[in-house]
Structure 1
């Protein structure tokens, strides 16, 4: 598993039983992404040295690595210390109540959402301004 060191932004490779605690990001794909930087900044602030973000941690040019990532995804979310869900289309609280705005987010229409919602024990939902709006804990 390849993780991002939140202190220096470098990738580090870990073997199956030697994986440190890490945060993981769930998001929708968009142009001009700054999600890796923000995920690492929040993870570091929360006391985590490592983070996993699909846009950086999976080598999509390697079909073997991509196949392994797809096969392992549920387990990676399940073993994460916390999952950060970035909802770029979730407005700030002053614009719309959470109960209404959350259900309108395109994140809920993606194919991966269910596993990324149920696999991690701890989930923090961030709005488009990277402000935490809700949590889910098991």
Structure 2
């Protein structure tokens, strides 16, 4: 990795691996390059496993490419990362998370071993995401409070409409097929009913 020319995405991966190594870890996994997206089976498995992988990880590193060094409190809330639907499981699942700024310095120069500990960062996340501190610190997946969980993702940015629902697989603790093209409403309907059919539930004869 470190022998590669430091250009483009390679630089990010090199910095990511260094941050993981400096934190005392010998192995690192990045969704930037560790998912073979053209492989339909691997892509599906990765989508459904992401929450569990995040939860079981020793550390989640979040790179805020649009947050400059020496930023003030509030920069994380305004980051593009904080607008994406897929950021919700990245934030809720892990026990330990560290935020890095664009130059790979620690957000707010906070040297805590876990950025879920400083009150200032938790309050910033609470205000910007609508998630309460209890969920941020000790979230448990499940169908309970479904409406509130849907609201977490409803206004967030996704590459595809269906990802509003698919990003919540781990949040709801549910496994349904990924069917791009079914549309946002059908995907959300299947998420809430646990329906594995691409056509939705059918009632009557």
When normalised by structure 1's length, the TM-score is 0.71
- The superposition leaves residues 33-53 of structure 1 with CA deviations (integer Å, 9 ceiling, x where unpaired) of 222111111111221110010
SS in 1 for 2:116: strand
RMSD over equivalenced CA pairs, Å? 2.3
- As a proportion of its length, which structure holds more helix? 2
Corresponding residue of 1:42: 19
Is 1:32 the counterpart of 2:12 in the alignment?
no
Give distance in 2, aligned partners of 1:56 and 1:77: 16
Asked if the contact 1:74/1:116 (under 8 Å) is kept, the reply is yes
- As a proportion of its length, which structure holds more strand? 1
- The superposition leaves residues 78-100 of structure 1 with CA deviations (integer Å, 9 ceiling, x where unpaired) of 0110101100111222xx412x2
Corresponding residue of 1:25: none
Give distance in 2, aligned partners of 1:120 and 1:67: 21
Shift of 1:59: 1.0
Give distance in 2, aligned partners of 1:35 and 1:7: 11
Corresponding residue of 2:87: 113
Shift of 1:32: 2.4
Q: Which runs of 5+ in 2 are unaligned?
A: 118-136, 138-205
Question: Which of residues 84, 98, 103 is equivalent to 1:124?
Answer: 98
Is 1:102 the counterpart of 2:68 in the alignment?
no
Give distance in 2, aligned partners of 1:112 and 1:43: 21
Task: Give structure 1 regions of 4+ aligned residues with deviation exceeding 2 angstroms.
Answer: 6-9
SS in 2 for 1:101: coil
Corresponding residue of 2:165: none
Q: Which has the larger radius of gyration?
A: 2
Give distance in 2, aligned partners of 1:128 and 1:8: 22
Aligned length: 109
